[in-house]
Chain A
Amino acid sequence: MTTQSTRAIRLDRTTEAVEARHFLILTEPSGARRWLVVGQAALTIGRSEPADIVVADDVISRVHCRIEPHGDSLQVTDLGSTNGTFVDGRRIADPTPLKSGTQFHLGDRAFGYERRLRGEQEDAETLERDLESASRYVQMLLPQPVGDGPVRAAWHFVPCARVGGDAFGYGPIDAGTWGGFILDVTGHGAAAALHAVSILNLIGRKALPGADPRNPAAVVAALNDMFPADSAELPLFSMWAFSYDIAARRLRYCSAGHHPAILVAPPDRQPKPLNTANPLVGMIAGRAFAADEIVLPPAATLYLFSDGVFEIETADNRQLALQDFIPMIAKGAGPSRSEPQRLYREVRALARQGPLADDLCIVTLEFP
């Protein structure tokens, strides 16, 4: 597109009615988003009629709150709801103005507010559809949970911005070996997701030159050679990779710039951190990567997770760290397909209202 035609389009936009509209954005359980126009009249939001905007969710009271124009913006008033109305993570008592681009919550149900020119809103909806499509593509690349066999796997993945820089994979390498990894590209959103997907596809197709997939250090070193992070546009990522010799029960692992994975096993289920001292992938050209290995006891479970799981801010403004997440793992009752979801719910309950600050990914691997 030439500069002249771009300028022409901008002039067209300014000669349209410079009409800013208020939009409430509702996210459905499916992840799809609905944009609702708020006009000059006040609207109520509630679980059922007579509310003007009906959102069938038990956390929302029958008539929960009122939204109305207030100057250039909108204002929200709680109408004595059971679970409260929250702006900036704080439960409101009085009519409270909303800022465009932010969210407010009815209980734990998030609503977005955007003040947009008409054309901007259409562009935003197009982008929304594109992100939704990209998000579905990424989900297709992720492996299915595994409920049976020498390694059982489950996972929970929540990108903080529809798509994100976390990715993972696992599966049989050959008849006697399993392998897997988790990786986290610095940043999040579309750019990080593009990098994550290209790395995921390379590993999945076993397209790393000279790297035996049974040797996690060689896999990481090959990726380090292929992805030198020499400029801001190129990915820099952390990784935790492993191979597992089924007969010998030997786990070989290599972590690069990544916090430890956690191993628990009966009888004491004492969390054991596993990692190796290597830098982020892409940071140091030609670096050799160290690996380590451990023989797994029966009924061991390995937890791989991204730092978005523990780098969260709580409702009372505390910044959590890895040491706060490890006890949540220890509380688990034993191998279970729903472990990732249990951990996610615990983290979500602690975190302040609103989207999580980073992509969240939890993978559990059980070795019966």
Chain B
Amino acid sequence: MQYKIVDGPAETAIVVLDGKLDYSAAGQIEMPMSVLAGSKKGLIIDLSALTFLASIGIRHLVTAAKAIQRKGGRIVLLRPTASIAEVLATSGVTELIPVVQSDIEARTAIGLAG
């Protein structure tokens, strides 16, 4: 899996995940996600190019979400494919982290003007 982090204004960032988030890929993003959750006020996780999400990947999303939300920050999941959306729905992650379909909704969800 490839990933890219793009810093945004007002202590926000977008994380773009591309490929399969399996057990070994989850090991790659654990630290970066932890650092972002500790340092950012808003995080957009772009899932549009994610093809597989293992439960350990869900674990890291939940850990990051709880950390950022505890500090009053916001996190949002952007544009998952149908199969990833199903995994997110089954796991109930959507009760913790909102899911949106457009860049404007994502920016609004983390407190940036559209």
Residues of A within 8 A of B (CB): 184, 186-188, 229-232, 236, 238, 256-259, 277-280, 283-284, 287, 307, 311, 319, 321, 357-358
Q: A232-B63, A257-B91, A321-B83 are in contact. Are A187 and B56 (CB under 8 A)?
A: yes
Q: B92 — nearest CB in chain A belongs to which residue?
A: A279
Kindly state whether residue B62 has any CB partner on chain A within 8 Å: yes
Asked whether B51 lies within 8 Å of A232 as measured between CB atoms, the reply is no
B55, B59, B60, B63 — most chain A CB neighbours (10 Å)? B55
Asked whether A283 lies within 8 Å of B63 as measured between CB atoms, the reply is no
Q: A236 — nearest CB in chain B belongs to which residue?
A: B59
Residues of A within 8 A of B22 (CB): 357
Q: A287 — nearest CB in chain B belongs to which residue?
A: B95
Asked whether A284 lies within 8 Å of B54 as measured between CB atoms, the reply is no
Asked whether B90 lies within 8 Å of A186 as measured between CB atoms, the reply is no
| Contact among B51, B63, B90, B95 for A284, CB-based, below 8 A | B95
Residues of A within 8 A of B63 (CB): 229, 231-232
Asked whether A257 lies within 8 Å of B92 as measured between CB atoms, the reply is yes
Asked whether B96 lies within 8 Å of A284 as measured between CB atoms, the reply is yes
Within 8 A of A (CB), among B49-98: 51-52, 54-56, 58-60, 62-63, 66, 83, 90-93, 95-96
Residues of A within 8 A of B58 (CB): 186, 236, 280
Residues of B within 8 A of A279 (CB): 91-93, 95-96
Residues of B within 8 A of A187 (CB): 23, 55-56, 59
Q: B52 — nearest CB in chain A belongs to which residue?
A: A319
Asked whether A230 lies within 8 Å of B66 as measured between CB atoms, the reply is yes
Asked whether B83 lies within 8 Å of A184 as measured between CB atoms, the reply is no
Residues of B within 8 A of A186 (CB): 55-56, 58-59
Kindly state whether residue B34 has any CB partner on chain A within 8 Å: yes
Asked whether B55 lies within 8 Å of A307 as measured between CB atoms, the reply is yes
Q: Tell me the bound Cα distance from A46 to B34 in angstroms.
A: 49
Asked whether B51 lies within 8 Å of A319 as measured between CB atoms, the reply is yes
Query: Which 5 residue pairs across A and B have the least CB separation, nearest first?
Result: A279-B92, A186-B59, A186-B55, A257-B91, A187-B56
Q: Tell me the bound Cα distance from A321 to B84 in angstroms.
A: 11
